[in-house]
Amino acid sequence: MRNKVSLKDIAQKVGVSTAAVSYALNKGKEGKVSDEMAAKIRAAAKELNYQPNQIAKSLKMGRTNTLGLILADVSNPFFSSIARVIEDEAKEHGYTVIFGSSDEKPERSWDLINVLLNRQVDGVIIVPSESSEEQILYLKEQKVPFVLIDRYFPEIPSSFVALDNHRAAYEAVMHLARMGRRRIGMLAYKTNLYHMQERKRGYQEALLDVGLTMSKNWLKEVKYGDIKNGVKNAIDGMLSNGEPIDALFFATNTLAINGLKYIDKLKLKVPDDLAIVSFDEGEAFDFYYCPLTYVRQPVYEIGKGAVQLLLDQIESSNGRIGQIQFDPELIIRKSSGA
Amino acid sequence: MRNKVSLKDIAQKVGVSTAAVSYALNKGKEGKVSDEMAAKIRAAAKELNYQPNQIAKSLKMGRTNTLGLILADVSNPFFSSIARVIEDEAKEHGYTVIFGSSDEKPERSWDLINVLLNRQVDGVIIVPSESSEEQILYLKEQKVPFVLIDRYFPEIPSSFVALDNHRAAYEAVMHLARMGRRRIGMLAYKTNLYHMQERKRGYQEALLDVGLTMSKNWLKEVKYGDIKNGVKNAIDGMLSNGEPIDALFFATNTLAINGLKYIDKLKLKVPDDLAIVSFDEGEAFDFYYCPLTYVRQPVYEIGKGAVQLLLDQIESSNGRIGQIQFDPELIIRKSSGA
DNA sequence: TATAAATAGTTAATCGTTTAAAATACGATT
DNA sequence: AATCGTATTTTAAACGATTAACTATTTATA
């Protein structure tokens, strides 16, 4: 149907072997073929609009110049921003990206890994979902180059690019404390993933360090699959008791967006009734009537770092692992009562 | 380094030819191989954790079960939402997606098309950028199955999935007029792309139909490459003159977000000083102090429709074109003065 | 002049599949 | 026993590239 032009066609037209064509087109310099012959071949290639069949090339060469990218969800701006950076950085080095969204489900993530490996990607960048440890171990065992981003498993040595989540949460909460808040709540996801554990640990440690004793229902967790309802119940819980919170720290942008919508519905005023700090950024945070204080993640650096670590592994093919941890940046605006 | 297990290994282990293995694994039913042999082979395959090499398969079969996706920019939520839908829908049918962002630049789009075709994708879904007509014609000439989304070229017959942009703009502006606005401006992109032309035409026609004569500087266009500054100047222009606008229609979400930030800086109050309607949706629109009235695009239906049209072309391999045009939905909220 | 070295090009194997065609086995039919 | 038919399995070519190894030709060297 299409792309009929192959090495053979050029060879035929010029009257040489396909090998000559291949040499001429690939190693222009290295004197495998005379200059005039090379010129003739290149002219013919151009005339026929020859485009090499990467599939054939990949099969022979054992590399596809393709990277796999497994995100939690492309439609989440945080991840799609990273995807864009990764795309650009990969292209810069001659790589194409195949992607997929795991939806935080390990089965989907397994599926994606298999699809990507069957397609012989040269390496993978993964936002690992909960309970995907065995998948990561499998990748190691199979010696597939990979880099984890956003999260990682501390007990499994591997390359990763992430934020110092503990510190990020610690500083966010410290900031709220410094603003005079004393009953600080945190809304997180119910998951064992390390990044979330670290954020919770940071929160708790900060409270401890400023001498505040945390009430049981200040730290609530909602399930990824039931965000809207979960957020509502969680916030109700934080407010209902004898010690209603006067500040709330959201562990992700999605939680913040859902949470703030509910807080508005309750007619609570930010920051007077409730001070807010969130993770991640977003246009929505700028547009909120009281601009949000948030923990900024260096999206560009994360994406770029991930690609670099990955290409490093691929190209040096020693299983050298690299780990990059970024420091958080707290963008302080009105919502935290500053 | 990895994925060492091939048909040959299974064949060796069981003591048959690779052909037998291939038959057993693929056409279980069609009695090419005895049931017991098939069972033995499948057992061995499982034991060795055999994963077929899709690259080799693709080369032989002439199809990759891969779709190419060219967006203007994955990091734009409108496009990333579509990407997610396309991903899911493609997966549903056994296809994987390779993507790229054109950044509205025809050179980048050419690049991407070549990359995708060299990788032998079975078809492409494209958000075409300005001046990419020749690329589309090339795809037709090469008989590459493709579907355009969001925009299309009316003079080039092709499959597409889009919104009735004329009607969308017409209704948006009509709504503003009905709300009593008389000096309605529109902020658009400077581009010949049909969807934008249609949006402008809808705007102008609506003004005409309600008997308003448009002032020259009510309709402003900004360049994609210079949004921030362009928006600022455009809005200044709309306000400065003897006839400052009392309503503004934004042609895209990005324009709206930038525009509203500037409008806030000017301390204009929405909707009293200025009524607003925008295209597309976004969390940001919900969070604006005065929730935005907007033209909703059926993202899910667009993505799903595109994949279906494309698979149709691929699988029936007659160049049958399909065109889907959705009706807009105006979500009316406070910003338009309702 | 004989021979080595450099140059230019070809042959053929290979990557991991699929699949048409040929080969083999084996029981049934005459 | 010869023949046929059916079921099963193997052979080998093909997809489109790359590349080691070989051949043939020219040029340089002793």
At A166-217, the pLDDT tens digits run 999 999 999 999 999 999 999 999 999 999 999 999 999 999 999 998 888 8
Give the orientation angle of helix B18-26 with respect to helix B35-47, to 10 degrees.
Answer: 90
Residue B121 corresponds to which tokens in the numbers above?
């994708």
pLDDT score of B319: 79
pLDDT score of B213: 86
Give every CB contact of residue A43 below 8 A, 6+ residues apart in sequence: none
pLDDT score of A4: 83
A23 sits within 7 Å of strand C by its CB: yes
Strand order in the sheet with A293-296: A219-222, A184-189, A247-250, A275-279, A293-296, A329-331
Give every CB contact of residue A251 below 8 A, 6+ residues apart in sequence: A169, A186, A187, A188, A189, A196, A199, A200, A279
Give dist(CA A22, CA A60) in Å, integer. 13
All residues of chain B having their beta carbon less than 8 Å from the beta carbon of residue A294 are none
Is the pLDDT confidence value at B219 over 90? Answer: yes
pLDDT score of A29: 57
pLDDT category at A249 given cuts 50, 70, 90 is very high
**B165-297+331-336 homologous superfamily:** Response regulator (3.40.50.2300)
Q: What is the mean pLDDT of chain B?
A: 95
Tell me A62's DSSP state: T
In terms of C-beta density within 10 A (0-12 exposed, 13-18 middle, 19 or more buried), how is residue B232 classed?
middle
Is the pLDDT confidence value at B122 over 60? Answer: yes
Q: Do domains B65-163+299-327 and B165-297+331-336 have the same CATH topology?
A: yes
Give the orientation angle of helix B18-26 with respect to helix B7-14, to 10 degrees.
Answer: 110
Number of continuous H segments (helices) and E segments (strands) in chain B: 13, 12
Residue type at B180 in one-letter notation: G
Which has the closest alpha carbon to B94: B315, B317, B316?
Answer: B315
pLDDT category at A240 given cuts 50, 70, 90 is confident
Estimate in Å the CA B34 to C1' C27 gap, whole number. Answer: 16
Give every CB contact of residue A122 below 8 A, 6+ residues apart in sequence: A63, A64, A65, A66, A67, A95, A145, A314
From residue A95, alpha-carbon distances to A84, A98, A307 in Å are 13, 10, 10
Residue B170 corresponds to which tokens in the numbers above?
């017409």
pLDDT score of B59: 97
Is residue A141 less than 8 Å (CB to CB) from chain B?
A: no
Give dist(CA A203, CA A173) in Å, integer. 6
Q: Which CATH number fits domain B65-163+299-327: 3.40.50.1100, 3.20.10.10, 3.40.50.2300, 3.40.50.300?
A: 3.40.50.2300
pLDDT score of A214: 83
Q: Which CATH number fits domain A7-52: 1.10.260, 2.60.40, 1.20.1250, 1.10.287?
A: 1.10.260
Estimate in Å the CA B52 to C1' D5 gap, whole number. Answer: 35
Give every CB contact of residue B163 below 8 A, 6+ residues apart in sequence: B150, B195, B297, B298, B302, B325, B326, B327, B328
Give dist(CA B218, CA B224) in Å, integer. 19
Is residue B58 less than 8 Å (CB to CB) from chain A?
A: yes
Domain A64-163+299-327, second-level architecture: 3-Layer(aba) Sandwich (3.40)
Is the pLDDT confidence value at A78 over 60? Answer: yes
| Count of alpha carbons within 13 angstroms of residue B211, beta-carbon side | 2
At B273-294, the pLDDT tens digits run 999 999 999 899 999 999 999 9
pLDDT score of B2: 59
Query: Is B77 within 8 Å of A81 when comparing Cβ atoms?
Result: no
Instruction: Detail the DSSP E strand segments found in A75-171.
Output: 96-101, 123-126, 146-149, 160-163
Give dist(CA B210, CA B178) in Å, integer. 9
At A124-139, the pLDDT tens digits run 999 999 999 999 999 9
Is the pLDDT confidence value at A333 over 70? Answer: yes
Estimate in Å the CA A6 to C1' D22 gap, whole number. Answer: 25
Is residue B51 less than 8 Å (CB to CB) from chain A?
A: yes
Residue B256 corresponds to which tokens in the numbers above?
């709206």
User: What's the whole-number mean pLDDT along residues B192-201?
Assistant: 98
At A2-51, the pLDDT tens digits run 558 999 999 999 999 999 999 999 976 567 889 999 999 999 999 999 99
pLDDT score of B30: 66
Parallel/antiparallel/unpaired status of strands B329-331 and B293-296:
antiparallel
User: What's the whole-number mean pLDDT along residues B223-234?
Assistant: 96
Domain boundaries, chain B: 7-52, 65-163+299-327, 165-297+331-336
Distance from the Cα of A215 to chain B's closest Cα (Å) equals 30
| Count of alpha carbons within 13 angstroms of residue B171, beta-carbon side | 17
A63 sits within 7 Å of strand D by its CB: no
Give dist(CA B202, CA B185) in Å, integer. 13
Distance from the Cα of A65 to chain B's closest Cα (Å) equals 10
Tell me which residue has tokens 């009524």. Answer: B275
Q: Give yes or no for a contact between A166 and A176, defined as CB atoms under 8 angstroms apart.
A: no
User: What's the whole-number mean pLDDT along residues B70-94?
Assistant: 97
Is the pLDDT confidence value at A338 over 80? Answer: no
At B128-156, the pLDDT tens digits run 999 999 999 999 999 999 999 999 999 99
Is the pLDDT confidence value at A336 over 90? Answer: yes
Is the pLDDT confidence value at A224 over 60? Answer: yes
All residues of chain B having their beta carbon less than 8 Å from the beta carbon of residue A284 are 282-284, 286-287
